[in-house]
């Protein structure tokens, strides 16, 4: 398997007026060809900042401090802006939570897809328009011939997300980054969109990086999982491994507080407190103030992300080191 994305030891800080926000620290992540990988965590854990780092769509006060992001032989941390324009929408497609923000309200959706095609393939107008129609059909829009001429406000939320996906995959990217793609949608529409993304992954061989807070979507659609907490990856494992034998106390807590429609939880398994501010993260392990299994080294020493157990899971926890 060759990787389409390989992030090694990435640290990205935001230099704000209030101080340094440690948004992403020592993050390593890999996505192989055609694979569906999840990056999960709660609000503010740095998962979206990771995605924006890959696309280099960061605010001007963002600074890469170390590490590399390798895509198609290039390091995106140092790539010139010209090269990034070919990567964005070409090699990597991206879809976001709120499609309306990313669609131009004044232009027909067909034009918006064709624009992406012309930009990345150099196709002529007629050819690009034909490909736009084809892209709408690919995302299962029934009357694509008419929808091509619609404006975004004429479409429902689910249809807009389909249009955004059509733009993202129009140039056959090798990686599709989906940042909370269904959070704003109703549950039956969410199911349609997730099925569509999964089908496109198989049809086009596009790898998917799914960024989400919803463990249910991860369980159903992804083969590997990275769990993020306070700017760091705390656990990296296969999907069955992580759901059956979660090792990091944070992963365990997340799973226990995830309610399920197919069974009754008597106890909502609360972890106290809230995630730390990344302006001044706690010393030592960042989870230690909330951890039910905190012990001697946790408040002072930062645990490394190390291999744990027989499988290929990687865990950032002193408990695992103690077991070795």
Q: Where do contacts with other proteins occur on this chain (CB under 8 A)? A: 42-43, 156, 158-159, 186-192, 195, 213-220, 239-240, 243, 253-255, 257-266, 268-272, 274-275
Q: Name the minimum Å distance from CB 148 to other proteins.
A: 19
Contact 113, 177 (CB under 8 A): no
**286 closest CA partner among 273, 272, 270, 303:** 303
Q: How far apart are CA 40 and CA 24, in angstroms?
A: 14
Please give the DSSP secondary-structure letter assigned to residue 103.
S
Q: Name the minimum Å distance from CB 191 to other proteins.
A: 4
> In terms of CB distance, is 117 or 242 closer to other proteins?
242
> In terms of CB distance, is 294 or 301 closer to other proteins?
294
Contact 152, 100 (CB under 8 A): yes
> In terms of CB distance, is 55 or 237 closer to other proteins?
237
Q: Name the minimum Å distance from CB 52 to other proteins.
A: 20
Q: Name the minimum Å distance from CB 198 to other proteins.
A: 11
Q: Name the minimum Å distance from CB 221 to other proteins.
A: 9
**109 closest CA partner among 170, 154, 163:** 163
State residue 78 phi and psi, 5-degree precision.
-110, -5
Contact 132, 146 (CB under 8 A): no
Q: Name the minimum Å distance from CB 145 to other proteins.
A: 18
Cα dist. 235→227, 238, 300, 306 in Å?
A: 5, 10, 20, 9
> In terms of CB distance, is 266 or 310 closer to other proteins?
266
- Torsion angle in degrees (nearest 10) through CA of 21, 23, 27, 29: -170
Please give the DSSP secondary-structure letter assigned to residue 295.
-
- Torsion angle in degrees (nearest 10) through CA of 296, 302, 307, 308: 30
Q: With H, G, I as helix, E, B as strand and everything else as coil, classify residue 143.
A: coil
Q: Name the minimum Å distance from CB 83 to other proteins.
A: 36
> In terms of CB distance, is 43 or 101 closer to other proteins?
43
> In terms of CB distance, is 209 or 217 closer to other proteins?
217
> In terms of CB distance, is 60 or 268 closer to other proteins?
268
Q: With H, G, I as helix, E, B as strand and everything else as coil, classify residue 220.
A: helix
């Amino acid at each position: 398997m060759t990787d389409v994305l390989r992030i090694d030891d990435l640290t990205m800080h935001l230099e704000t007026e209030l101080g340094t926000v440690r948004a992403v620290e020592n993050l390593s992540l890999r996505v192989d060809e055609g694979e569906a990988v999840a990056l999960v965590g709660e609000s503010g854990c740095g998962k979206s900042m990771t995605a924006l780092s890959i696309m280099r769509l960061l605010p001007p006060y963002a600074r890469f401090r170390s590490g590399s992001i390798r895509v198609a032989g290039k390091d995106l941390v140092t790539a010139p802006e010209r090269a990034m324009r070919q990567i964005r929408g070409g090699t990597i497609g991206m879809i976001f939570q709120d499609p309306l923000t990313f669609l131009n309200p004044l232009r027909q959706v067909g034009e918006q897809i064709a624009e992406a095609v012309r930009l990345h393939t150099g196709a002529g107008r007629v050819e690009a328009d034909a490909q736009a129609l084809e892209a709408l059909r690919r995302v299962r829009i029934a009357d694509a011939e008419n929808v091509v001429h619609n404006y975004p406000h004429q479409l429902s939320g689910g249809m807009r997300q389909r249009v955004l996906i059509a733009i993202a995959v129009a140039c056959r990217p090798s990686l599709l980054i989906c940042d909370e793609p269904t959070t704003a949608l109703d549950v039956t529409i969410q199911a349609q969109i997730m099925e569509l993304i999964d089908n496109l992954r198989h049809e086009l061989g596009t790898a998917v990086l799914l960024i989400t807070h919803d463990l249910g979507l991860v369980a159903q659609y992804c083969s590997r999982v990275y769990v993020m907490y306070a700017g760091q990856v705390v656990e990296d494992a296969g999907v069955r491994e992580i759901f059956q034998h979660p090792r990091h106390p944070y992963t365990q807590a997340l799973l226990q507080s995830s309610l399920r429609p197919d069974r009754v939880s008597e106890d909502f398994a609360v972890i106290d407190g809230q995630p730390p501010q990344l302006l001044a993260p706690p010393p030592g392990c960042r989870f230690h103030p909330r951890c039910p299994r905190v012990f001697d080294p946790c408040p002072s020493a930062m645990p490394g992300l190390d291999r744990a157990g027989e499988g290929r899971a990687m865990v950032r926890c002193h408990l695992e080191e103690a077991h070795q």
